[in-house]
C-alpha cells in the first residue's frame, strides 16, 4: 500500500470530476449536467393545471360512460321489447281479438271471408294492433256488442269515440289515423312473438300487414 500526500487529494478529485464523461458506443457522450439544465422546465403552476384538467377530463368521461351504460336498453321485457303471445292455434280465424295487457296490444287472426263493415277488410292472418288510441292516447277496448253502421263488433275509444274495424282501420271519430301495428314473428312451430318496440303508424292498409299462417 502506498501513502498519498494529503495535499494532493482534493485537487485530484476535482480534476477527475471536471473531465468525467460517460462513454457510449462509438465514442459518443451523454449531455453534461449543464446541458440538461437548459431543457425547458415544467413550472409548478403548469403542473397543477395539467393535473387539474386531466382529473376533470377523467371524471367527465367516467360520468358519461356511466350515463350511457344506464340509458342503454338491454334485456327489455314487456312493452318496448319482444312479448311472447302464444301460438297461432290459440287464435280462431275470424274470432275476436285477444288482448295482451303486458305488451299493450291486441292480436287478431283475420279471415278474409269476414266481409262485414267492421270485419277483416280483406286481410288474412295474424295482426298485432297497439291499443293506444292515435288521437290522445286512451286505451282502446274491443267491444263485441258495440253497434255501429248496423254492425256489431268494433274497437271503440271511450274518450272521444273513435271507432276502428277489427283490423284497426279508423271509420269514425277524431283520431288522425288508424290504429298502429306492431311487428309479428312466427316460428316454424307456430309460436308468436310481438316486437312491441317496432311500431308502424296505422293506415287503411292495416289489413294487408297481417302475417299469413
Ligand atoms: S283518445 Fe281516442 S278518440 Fe280521443
Residue 6 placed within a domain: no
Given a cut of 80, whether residue 119 has pLDDT beyond it is yes
Domain of residue 173 covers: 82-209
Residue 143 placed within a domain: yes
**Mean pLDDT, range 135-163, rounded to an integer:** 98
Residue 72 placed within a domain: no
Residue whose CB lies within 8 A of the most ligand 1 atoms, among 148, 160, 171, 176, for a mutation test = 160
Average of per-residue pLDDT values in the chain: 87
Residue 8 placed within a domain: no
Residue 126 placed within a domain: yes
Q: How many residues does the chain have?
A: 213
Q: Which residue has the cell 272521444?
A: 160
- Give the closest residue (by CA) to ligand 1 atom 4: 160
Task: Write down the pLDDT at residue 173.
Answer: 98
CA distances from 14 to 7, 20, 22 (A): 13, 10, 17
Integer Cα distance of 161 and 56 in angstroms: 57
Residue 136 placed within a domain: yes
pTM above 0.85, yes or no: no
Given a cut of 90, whether residue 62 has pLDDT beyond it is no
Determine whether 85 is exposed, middle or buried from the number of CB atoms within 10 Å of its CB (0-12, 13-18, 19+). Answer: buried
Instruction: Find out whether the beta carbon of 141 lies less than 6 Å from any atom of ligand 1.
Output: no
**Ligand 1 centre and the CA of 169: distance in Å?**
14
Given a cut of 60, whether residue 148 has pLDDT beyond it is yes
Residue 67 placed within a domain: no
Task: Write down the pLDDT at residue 1.
Answer: 44
Q: CATH number for the domain including 124?
A: 2.102.10.10
Residue 13 placed within a domain: no
Task: Write down the pLDDT at residue 200.
Answer: 98
> What is the total count of domains within the chain?
1
Amino acid at each position: 500500500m502506498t501513502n498519498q500526500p494529503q495535499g494532493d487529494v482534493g485537487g485530484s478529485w476535482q480534476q477527475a470530476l471536471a473531465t468525467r464523461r460517460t462513454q457510449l458506443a462509438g465514442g459518443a457522450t451523454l449531455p453534461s449536467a449543464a446541458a440538461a439544465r437548459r431543457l425547458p422546465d415544467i413550472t409548478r403552476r403548469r403542473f397543477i393545471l395539467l393535473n387539474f384538467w386531466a382529473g376533470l377530463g377523467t371524471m367527465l368521461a367516467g360520468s358519461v360512460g356511466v350515463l350511457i351504460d344506464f340509458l342503454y336498453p338491454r334485456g327489455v321485457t314487456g312493452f318496448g321489447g319482444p312479448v311472447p303471445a302464444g301460438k297461432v292455434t290459440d287464435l280462431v280465424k275470424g274470432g275476436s281479438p285477444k288482448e295482451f295487457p303486458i305488451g299493450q296490444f291486441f292480436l287478431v287472426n283475420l279471415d278474409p271471408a269476414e266481409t262485414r263493415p267492421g270485419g277483416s277488410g280483406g286481410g288474412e292472418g295474424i295482426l298485432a294492433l297497439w291499443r293506444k288510441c292515435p288521437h290522445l292516447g286512451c286505451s282502446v277496448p274491443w267491444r263485441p256488442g258495440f253497434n255501429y253502421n248496423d254492425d256489431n263488433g268494433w274497437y271503440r275509444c271511450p274518450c272521444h269515440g273513435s271507432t276502428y274495424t277489427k283490423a284497426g282501420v279508423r271509420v269514425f271519430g277524431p283520431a288522425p289515423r288508424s290504429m298502429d301495428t306492431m311487428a309479428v314473428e312466427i316460428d316454424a312451430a307456430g309460436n308468436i312473438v310481438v316486437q312491441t318496440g317496432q311500431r308502424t303508424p296505422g293506415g287503411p292498409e292495416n289489413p294487408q300487414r297481417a302475417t299469413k299462417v
